[in-house]
Structure formats: C-alpha cells, structure tokens
Amino acid sequence: MSNQVPHYMIIGGGITGLSAAFYLKKRLEADGRGTPFRISVVEKSPSFGGKIHTVVRDGFVIEKGPDSFLARKRPIIDLAYDLGLEHELTGTNPKAKKTYIVRGRKLHRMPPGLVLGIPTQMTPFMKTGLISPLGKLRAAMDLILPKRDGTGDESLGHFLERRLGKEVLERIVEPLLAGIYAGDTYKLSLKSTFPQFRAMELKNRSLILGMMASRKNVTEESAHLPAAVRNSVFVTFKRGLQSLVNALIDALRTVDLRAGVGVVSVRRIEDGQTEVVFEDGQREVVHGVIVTTPTYQAAKLLSELPTASKLAKIDYISVANVIMSFDRKDIPFELDASGFLVPKHEGYTITACTLTSAKWLHAAPEGKVLLRCYIGRSGEQEWPAWSDEQLISKARQDIQDLLGITAEPGFAEVTRLMHSMPQYPVNHLEEIAEFRKALLTAMPRVLVTGAGFHGVGLPDCIRQGKEVANQLAEMVLA
Ligand code: FAD
C-alpha cells in the first residue's frame, strides 16, 4: 500500500461528513508540498445531506428536516462564506416574532425577553399568565440561591429545577428545549447540552443574571454576519438548507462521492492498516477514516473494538413532522407569530407547530400558508405505529382545536425521522473521552464524530467535521 496515493475515507454523507471532506481537502491542498491524495465520501442512502432535506414545489420551500440555525454560531456562517453562499442567507420575518405556548388548552404568549426559556426581562415574566405567582417567586429565587460547587455533571432537568423551580421548567423551558433534543430533561446531560448554563451559574451565581449579562454581547456576536441578517437570531438559506449541501457537493467535484453504498465494518488489519468493508462484501484498505454516522451505526461499524459499546448506549428519539399548505383565506388569525409549543401532559399529539410561511417569508408563494407540526419526543414514542393518514388527522385535529383551522390542506406531507435525535446522557463527555482514548490506541487513524458527540445543531456538526478533518490532516502530514 505504501506506493499508492494516500486514500482517506469519510463514512456518512450528512452535514458532518461533507464538512469533514471539504475541510480535509482544503487542509491537504494548503499543505504546499503538492503530495497527491484521494478522498472518498461513502453514503448509505441514495443522496447526500443526511437529515437535511429541502423540497421545492409549487413555489413552496419545504424543509423536511432542520429548517434553520443559530446565527451567532460561527462555523456554518464561515462555511457559507467559504462556499460563496453568504448572499443566500436570510433571517426570520421581523413581523412574526411572537411565540405562543399551550397551557390549559389555550395559547398563551411567551413573555418577551426569554432566552432559551430563561427570563432576561423580569417585568414581562412577572405578568405572564403561564406561571402561577408561587412559580414566579420560585423562579426569582434563582437571584439569591447559592451556586453549586464541584465539576461533576448533572441532568439538565435537575439543574433547571434547582435554579428556577419545577413550574418554569415544565411549562416553559422543557417544551422549548425539547424542540432541540425531543428529550427528557431529567435524562439529558447539562454539560453536553447547555454547558453555558453551568458556566453562568459558576460565574454569576444566578442563571437569570448570567443570561442577562450574556445578552449584552449579542451585537458583538453578530458582527460576522452579512448586514441583511444581523438582527435575526435564526438564519437559513433562501432556497433552503439543501443549497448548503449542493454547494458542498459542488466544491467536492474532485472527490470520490459514492451514494447508495453502505459500510458494514471498519477494522484494523495486519501492519496496523485500516480496512473498510462494504455491504456488498467489497473491501478497501485506506490510510485514514472519519466515521460520521449516528453513534448506533458507528458502534456496529467498530464492533470489533470493545469500547464501541459505549456508543451503542446513546439513545436516539424518533420524530415526525406533518407539513401542510393552506390558502391564506382559510387561516382565521393574523400571521404575526412564528408558532407555538405544546408542553407534555396538555393532551395533544403535536409537540410544536411552526407557522413556517410567517416565520420565513421565502417559504410559500403569495396567498398561501405553510405550517409544520412536530410529533414525537421522549416518553411519546408510540407514533411510529400510526399510518401517515393517522398522523395527518391527529395534527389537523390539534390545529383545529388550538388555531381554529378547519379547512382541508392543499397538501400534507409526512416525514418520519426514525432514531434521529441523540440524547446525551449524564456523563456523556467523560464516556466519549474514554471511547476516543481507546480508539486512538487501537486505530489511530480512525476518527469518529457527528451529531451524537458534541452538539446536534448544524453549526456544531460542521465544527466537529472540521475538527476531525484537521486532526486527521495533522496526523498524515506529520
Ligand atoms: P446525519 O445527517 O444523520 O448523517 C449521517 C449519514 O450517515 C446519513 O446520511 C446516513 O445515511 C449515513 N450512514 C449511516 N450509516 C451508514 C453506513 N453504515 N454507511 C454509510 N453511510 C451511513 N439542527 C439545526 O441546527 N437546526 C434545526 O432546525 C434542526 N432541526 C432538526 C429537525 C429534525 C427533525 C432533526 C432530526 C434534526 C434537526 N437538527 C437541527 C439537527 C441536525 O439536523 C442534525 O444534528 C444534523 O443534520 C446531523 O448531521 P450528521 O451529518 O451528524 O448526521
């Protein structure tokens, strides 16, 4: 093999894998030695992009997976600039900033000034009908409660209950954060999901004071954004997130991109070399591998390594969404909100609803409305047994009750994302560090990353793809 051109293989062609390929190529080309190399990206499904899936139809831009990202997170903005896509960035509609939350079968306006569910303006919080007077008093105790010392992890739910009380946790924060993880906050790791909360407690003692202080940096944080989107917390691309995937594929023209090819094993063979085994039984010996599949898949690929069982333990929740179009005349209210959240135990099937075409002005043609209902979260996993018709009917029932929409949708599309939301357990960081240490000893040029490791958001996936690409490049260029 020593006479062959070095060959690096990336397994999984979601955003993490494509970013890893992009930055690995960039880094190896920048080396200046002109050493030839070969990169392959191997993707099991027929197309690239993983969870990202935009459908453009009849003037609608429909996101079946992720729909946007946090503007303040640099890696995706940097990648957009690297790909010449910055002019495609677009922010949310400034006229649809309100969000609602269900309580007692009614929609209540989310008090202004909440950041990730944490109050940063006390007057609107104290006026909200969402929380009882006792619940508000308990939340305000965060201002005086001492901080917890120590470095150990704890669950996100335990932390938030400790700081703000159970009512704020259950009625506001959990439904909001559930949109990101679809998880049970009492099972999710604080250090792996919202380390900034813990850092605020350590620095400011109070979470509310810490959040207020961090808000002051917002202008600074958005300085890197194109002027057109500087005032938006969430940002996407005008023609959908698929344009990011398409631009990456375009930039990877000289890379060997293989879709519809599944990998079954990555193993160490004689002389410390790495062999990749494919579903059809073919084998290839390569000089380096980056695995970016969900962790339960990575655990199977690396099953010869005992420590891979740590990856198999990370639970993934299944979610679905129902996207429906309506005529504007069939919507009996003003479209001045981005959507609403449904806490657990309110008696509905849907967990949230985005008024997509109000939130994103590019998402629907004139006179039409696009709406997206979310189904499934930790503890609510019976939905996969339901047919598409049942899912649509339950979503329609909920929006009829809550929004008064009775019209037949122009179209209704169901997307099932099975085992798609990783649930970082308490002590996740420590478990991952141990796994990586053992992997480095057993297979030094095999790196594993992706949404199951250090962040599920698109910017975090891009960051992780870039980090492992640079790590592999450092090893092979040394
Ligand atoms: P994936 O996208 O899962 O890619 C992994 C790839 O590996 C897949 O394409 C898979 O087919 C492939 N693969 C698996 N096994 C094999 C094998 N054996 N051989 C070869 N290939 C294999 N994030 C945001 O920032 N904003 C949002 O609005 C947002 N919304 C979301 C909504 C939903 C419904 C979901 C599920 C997630 C959302 N996220 C959002 C999170 C974000 O979309 C994901 O974390 C991210 O896309 C994961 O990227 P990835 O490349 O790590 O994994």
pLDDT number for residue 437: 97
Q: What is the pLDDT of residue 216?
A: 66
Supply 351's token pair.
Answer: 């967990």
Q: Number of C-alpha atoms within 13 angstroms, CB side, residue 421?
A: 23
Distance 170 CA to ligand 1 centre (A): 28
Pairing mode, strands 288-291 and 446-448: parallel
Distance from the CA of 258 to the center of ligand 1, in angstroms? 17
| 176 Cβ inside 6 Å of ligand 1 | no
For residue 31, which phi and psi values (nearest 5 degrees)?
-60, -30
Q: Which of 64, 456, 463, 468 to mutate to test the pocket of ligand 1 (most atoms within 8 A of CB)?
A: 456
Distance from the CA of 341 to the center of ligand 1, in angstroms?
23
What is the token pair recorded at 97? 């900033």
**Which residues of the chain are modeled with pLDDT < 50?**
none
What tens digit of pLDDT does each residue of 141-190 get?
999 999 998 889 999 999 999 999 999 999 999 998 877 899 999 999 99
Indicate whether residue 299 lines ligand 1 (CB < 6 A).
no
Cα(449) to centroid(ligand 1), Å: 12
User: How far from chain centre, in Å, is Cα 7?
Assistant: 30
Pairing between strand 337-341 and 98-103?
parallel
**188 pocket-lining for ligand 1 (C-beta < 6 Å):** no
Residue 360 Cβ contacting ligand 1 at under 6 Å:
no
- The residue whose C-alpha atom lies closest to atom 43 belonging to ligand 1 is 66
User: Distance from the CA of 235 to the center of ligand 1, in angstroms?
Assistant: 18
Residue 292 CA to ligand 1 centre (angstroms): 9
Q: Which single residue is written with the structure tokens 């063979």?
A: 269
CB atoms within 10 A of CB 92: 21
- pTM to 2 decimal places: 0.96
The predicted pLDDT at position 263 comes to 98
Give residue-wise pLDDT tens across range 270-285: 887 899 999 999 999 9
Which pLDDT score, from 0 to 100, does residue 225 have?
82
Q: Is 69 in the pocket of ligand 1 (CB under 6 A)?
A: yes
Q: Residue 298 and residue 449: Cα distance in Å, rounded?
A: 9
pLDDT at 178: 74
